Amino acid sequence: MQSRSVYEVKKQVSIPKPKLLKPENDPLHIIKTRKFTHGRPAMIAGPMVRYSKLPFRQLCRQYDADIVYSPMILAREYVRNGNARLADLSTNGDDTPLIIQVGVNNVADLLKFVEMVAPYCDGVGINCGCPIKEQVREGIGCALIYNADLLCQMVSAVKSKYGDSLRLETKIRIHDDLDQTVLLCKSLCDAGVDWITIHGRTRTTRSSQPVNLEAIRYIVEKIQDKKVPVVANGDCFQRADVDDIAEFTKVDGVMAVRGLLANPALFSGYDTCPWSCVEKFWYYAIEYGGLPYQLLQHHLYCMLENMGLERKLLKEMMEIKSTGELIDWFDTRFNFKRFGDGWAQSTAIPYRQHN
């Protein structure tokens, strides 16, 4: 199915209504019920700036991701600039359940943004966890966990307008004082948030430092009377991590981000990226189009590095400058199959034998 961009909405064109939520595409229902229907927590592919585009989202769904996020989209640009809308969001009928993540610092922009994207997604997530200084200075990302009143006003405004016809999530980081995070989460619950994703690091904690699962467990325990699901984020790199994190923290879902970039089949139990991922990603990237070459190349690099492709070949691949040349390189180096018979069946790298 060909992708379609969310186009600029003219004043004279009425905006479609939000999608109808059914159990199979309602993210809140999925998060609440996976432990009963599947014997495991909900498995969620989190937002990655630049990388969570349509081809990668569809790839993650092929390997048991229950819910998938878009990259963060800046509301102020999206609601004012048609070119931003064309560039930031492409989707199709198979792209579900989809959460569109937004970077926003005021109620008006958020309401307009939600109105424009609601017909194309199953929920919206407010980014309250991005630690990048430029975003924080704009009052976006991590800045919002220190501005609870504004954040709760935004949540309340959306839920007052849309109710259960649209799901709303907040993805936060923790404070140095965990009780401050508990108060924030309780306020978000009272404002009507559907679920909270907690990244178990503070704004200044580097990703190289272990995630604080004890903090997530503490927060879950303190807000359990609110009956709002919690998703844990941080350091999910293997399928076993999903169960271990959920068991320790008592969350309803587990989100992976960096782990999926290297191994999109993580949730299906593959310890390393299978070759089938590579061939499927190529198919989605070409079929849907719109993926800049540098992103295509980087996705393939991350997957092949995870598979153990030798450094010499990785370097060789990164020196290629175009999609056509890269396809030729794959054909030369590997038994690279297209969509059809025998496609996406291999696990190991199918090196081409040279005489």
- The backbone region for 78, taken as left when phi is positive above 0, alpha when psi lies in -120 to 50, beta otherwise, is alpha
* Main-chain dihedrals φ then ψ at residue 296, nearest 5 degrees: -55, -50
Q: Residue 183: CB partners within 8 Å, gap ≥ 6?
A: 148
Percent of the chain with pLDDT over 70: 95
Written as tens digits, the pLDDT of the chain (355 aa) is 455 554 444 444 567 778 889 999 999 999 999 999 999 999 999 999 889 999 999 999 999 999 999 999 999 999 998 877 877 789 999 999 999 999 999 999 999 999 999 999 999 999 999 999 999 999 999 999 999 999 999 999 999 999 999 999 999 999 999 999 999 999 999 999 999 999 999 999 999 999 999 999 999 999 999 999 999 999 999 999 999 999 999 999 999 999 999 999 999 999 999 999 999 999 999 999 889 999 999 999 999 999 999 999 999 999 999 999 999 999 999 999 999 878 999 999 999 986 4
Question: What pLDDT does 81 receive?
Answer: 86
Give CA–CA dist 173/141, Å, rounded. 9
Give CA–CA dist 126/218, Å, rounded. 23
Question: What pLDDT does 9 receive?
Answer: 44
Neighbours of 177 (CB within 10 A): 10
Domain boundaries 4-268, corresponding CATH code: 3.20.20.70
- How far, rounded to the nearest angstrom, does the alpha carbon of residue 355 sit from its chain's CA centroid? 44
Question: What pLDDT does 1 receive?
Answer: 47
Question: What pLDDT does 273 receive?
Answer: 99
Question: What pLDDT does 191 receive?
Answer: 98
Q: Please, where are the H alpha helices in the chain? A: 27-37, 54-61, 75-78, 82-88, 107-117, 133-137, 148-162, 178-191, 213-223, 239-249, 258-262, 275-288, 293-307, 311-318, 323-333
Question: What pLDDT does 14 receive?
Answer: 66
* Main-chain dihedrals φ then ψ at residue 127, nearest 5 degrees: -75, 110
Q: 331: number of CA atoms within 13 Å, CB side?
A: 7
Q: pTM of this prediction?
A: 0.94
- Burial degree of 29 (CB within 10 A; 0-12, 13-18, 19+): middle
- Burial degree of 229 (CB within 10 A; 0-12, 13-18, 19+): buried
Residue 252 tokens read as 């309803």
Question: What pLDDT does 354 receive?
Answer: 65
Question: What pLDDT does 11 receive?
Answer: 46
- What's the CA dihedral at 41, 43, 48, 53 to 10 degrees? -150
The pLDDT mean for the chain works out to: 94
Report the amino acid identity of residue 171: K
Question: What pLDDT does 289 receive?
Answer: 86
Q: Is 130 a catalytic residue?
A: yes
The catalytic residue among 121, 128, 130, 189 is: 130
Q: 17: number of CA atoms within 13 Å, CB side?
A: 4
101 is in an annotated binding site: yes
DSSP-derived letter for residue 201 is S
